[in-house]
């Protein structure tokens, strides 16, 4: 395959579902793709699948458990050794946990994986994203954020955990982070946008047991869209000239739309940023 666009794109959670389909579509356009996942065997298999499907062999797999925040330093260094600059970072990794669980760093799992990994990986790579021609950061959020009940005094829900609320809260955090990082780094020329991919038929939620998993399974059968449709907005934000200078927005079906009222709160954006930064400093000091 002739490489049409010499652009470097990093996609987290790229060995399955939306991330994998996004990688396939961007590989078809000739992008150099760096896929991030936690299973080396699965990653190698996906690289072969994408190369076979697209003819693009400019693919690299980076192994990392994104829920362990200290791992992200090594991940970022590995990525920077492979690529001189990054044109697109797609923070896509995420999951729903019906029961409360903690990471090895004693962080609530949903918070760590769905939000803090977005925050820290973006910050660690921002110099490479800014290098020469400023790039794009795309945060895969969800319209589920409209159901968020974020308590800024208990962001990780350690006092009264509810799995679906924690997931909705994490998707609100993705948007709060997008708006705040846009304000802080708008002078760099980097664009920061978030999106709702739709309710997509993937393995999302299959890590759970019981009622939560059953409800999601029924929903997937009845109303879910396929991964090709689900990946469209991510691919649009990564590749379209129409959004070259668009930043600080929330997209649905490749259109900028209004997110929830609470997501526009400057106070909430700033408090979440400070809280996230303090945790990072404690973990990495």
CB contact at 8 A, 144 and 168: yes
Active site residue 83: no
The residue count of the chain comes to 285
Burial class (CB in 10 A: 0-12, 13-18, 19+), 222: exposed
Tell me 93's DSSP state.
-
Q: What is the rounded distance in angstroms from the CA atom of residue 32 to the CA atom of residue 9?
A: 6
| Neighbour tally for 219: CB within 10 Å | 13
Q: What is the rounded distance in angstroms from the CA atom of residue 209 to the CA atom of residue 229?
A: 27
Torsion of CA 204, 216, 263, 109, to 10 degrees: -50
The catalytic residue among 167, 179, 185, 236 is 167
CB contact at 8 A, 209 and 110: no
Residues annotated as catalytic (active site), given as ranges: 167
């Amino acid at each position: 395959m002739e490489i049409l666009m010499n652009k470097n794109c990093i996609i987290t959670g790229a060995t399955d579902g939306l991330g994998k389909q996004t990688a396939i579509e961007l590989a078809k356009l000739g992008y150099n793709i760096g896929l991030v996942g936690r299973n080396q065997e699965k990653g190698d298999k996906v690289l072969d699948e994408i190369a076979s499907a697209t003819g693009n062999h400019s693919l690299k797999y980076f192994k990392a458990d994104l829920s362990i925040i200290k791992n992200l330093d090594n991940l970022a260094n590995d990525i920077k050794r492979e690529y001189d600059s990054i044109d697109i970072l797609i923070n896509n990794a995420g999951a729903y946990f019906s029961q409360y669980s903690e990471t090895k760093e004693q962080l609530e799992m949903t918070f760590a994986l769905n939000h803090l990994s977005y925050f820290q990986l973006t910050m660690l790579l921002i110099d490479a994203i800014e290098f020469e021609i400023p790039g794009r950061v795309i945060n895969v959020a969800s319209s589920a954020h409209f159901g968020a009940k974020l308590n800024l005094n208990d962001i990780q829900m350690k006092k009264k955990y509810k799995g679906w609320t924690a997931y909705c809260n994490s998707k609100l955090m993705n948007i709060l982070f997008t708006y705040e990082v846009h304000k802080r780094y708008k002078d760099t020329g980097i664009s920061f946008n978030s999106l709702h991919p739709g309710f997509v038929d993937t393995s999302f939620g299959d890590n759970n047991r019981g009622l939560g998993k059953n409800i999601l399974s029924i929903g997937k059968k009845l109303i879910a869209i396929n991964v090709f449709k689900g990946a469209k907005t991510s691919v649009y934000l990564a590749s379209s000239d129409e959004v070259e200078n668009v930043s600080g927005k929330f997209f649905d079906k490749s259109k900028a739309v209004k997110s929830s009222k609470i997501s526009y709160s400057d106070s909430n954006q700033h408090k979440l940023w400070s809280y996230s930064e303090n945790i990072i400093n404690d973990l990495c000091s």
